[in-house]
Amino acid sequence: MNRNQFIKTSIFGTLAFSIVSNFSFISIQEMYTRDQLIGKGNPDIIGDTYTSKMQKDTKVAFQKMKNEAAKEGVNIEVVSAYRSFEKQKQIFENKYRQFISEGLSPTDAITKIIEYSTIPGTSRHHWGTDIDIIDANAPRPESVLEEEHFYGDGPYCKLKEWLNEHSEKFGFYEVYTNNPERKGFKYEPWHFSYAPVSKPMLQEYKKLDILKVFQEEKILGNEYFTSDFIENYRSQNILNINPELL
């Protein structure tokens, strides 16, 4: 290669690199807006009911997994999929009002709520990539999402065994695992996440100032969220999950 050719090639290379890197920067920025990350409007959500609304790629992958499971007599049923910010706000604020009326302090009320529920704007269900699933072919217990149903001779053992063996092939990973070292939300053997989409979403989500979101959205009790509380919630409830999803 002579000098001129070398210069042309390197200029072209640099130019191409900068176009590609700018392009991916822009597309990530545009792919996940603040509102999309907190469940306030996402053009990629398809479906029309509480249990069928999902992010579009998640839905395609879910359907493939469901079809495969059906061949072995497992009828995967979604009990919760995409959940909007407004819906989560209702759940959170109803509990908050109830606990305050029972005499709890605002801080104790918030601590009690987050044993089982998320603060609006922080649920992975806002992304449309996460689903709670059971087996529609099994006898249906009164309350379906209980750990005991997924083990021993519980009705959802067959589903759980099938998922342990196959779900990751379809991109679905358990989020809140049974690791005793894990803090934050309790073990949820029914909650799965579509990693190819939820992983990049989490990376974008980590850049959000969640306290600012709580304040901007005027979530009931937001004046009691201290910076220590937010730091713990972020490291334990949001990030202390299956490492495969980080």
Sign of CA dihedral 119, 184, 35, 57: negative
Nearer CB in complex with Zn ion: 44/130? 130
d(CA 246, CA 242): 7
Residue 9 beta carbon to Zn ion: minimum distance, rounded to whole angstroms: 52
Q: Of the ranges 3-11, 60-68, 136-144, 187-195, which one interacts with Zn ion (CB under 5 A)?
A: 187-195
Q: Of the ranges 15-23, 42-50, 88-96, 191-199, which one interacts with Zn ion (CB under 5 A)?
A: 191-199
Contacts of 55 (CB under 8 A, 6+ apart): 42, 44, 45, 46, 82, 127, 128, 129, 194, 197
Residue 23 beta carbon to Zn ion: minimum distance, rounded to whole angstroms: 34
Sequence-distant contacts of 94-101: CB under 8 A, at least 24 apart: 96/220, 96/221, 97/220
Residue 70 beta carbon to Zn ion: minimum distance, rounded to whole angstroms: 22
Q: Of the ranges 85-93, 162-170, 179-187, 188-196, which one interacts with Zn ion (CB under 5 A)?
A: 188-196
| Cβ 120 vs Cβ 85: under 8 Å | yes
Q: Of the ranges 4-12, 13-21, 85-93, 184-192, which one interacts with Zn ion (CB under 5 A)?
A: 184-192
Nearer CB in complex with Zn ion: 160/191? 191
Using alpha carbons, select from 240, 113, 121, 122 the residue that is nearest to residue 184.
240
Which of 53, 59, 149, 191 is in the footprint of Zn ion by CB under 5 A? 191
Q: Of the ranges 87-95, 110-118, 128-136, 198-206, which one interacts with Zn ion (CB under 5 A)?
A: 128-136
Nearer CB in complex with Zn ion: 44/132? 132
29 membership: H or E segment, kind and range? helix 3-31
Nearer CB in complex with Zn ion: 132/174? 132
Is residue 132 at the binding interface for Zn ion, with CB under 5 A as the rule?
yes
Residue nearest to Zn ion (CB): 191
How many amino acids of this chain bind Zn ion (CB under 5 A)? 2
Nearer CB in complex with Zn ion: 6/160? 160
Residue entry with tokens 């083990």: 151
Query: Within 39-58, which residues bind Zn ion (CB under 5 A)?
Result: none
Nearer CB in complex with Zn ion: 44/174? 174
Using alpha carbons, select from 241, 44, 230 the residue that is nearest to residue 119.
230
**For the chain, the helix, strand and coil percentages under 3-state DSSP, each to the nearest 5:** 55, 10, 40
Sign of CA dihedral 235, 236, 240, 241: negative
Binding site for Zn ion (CB under 5 A): 132, 191
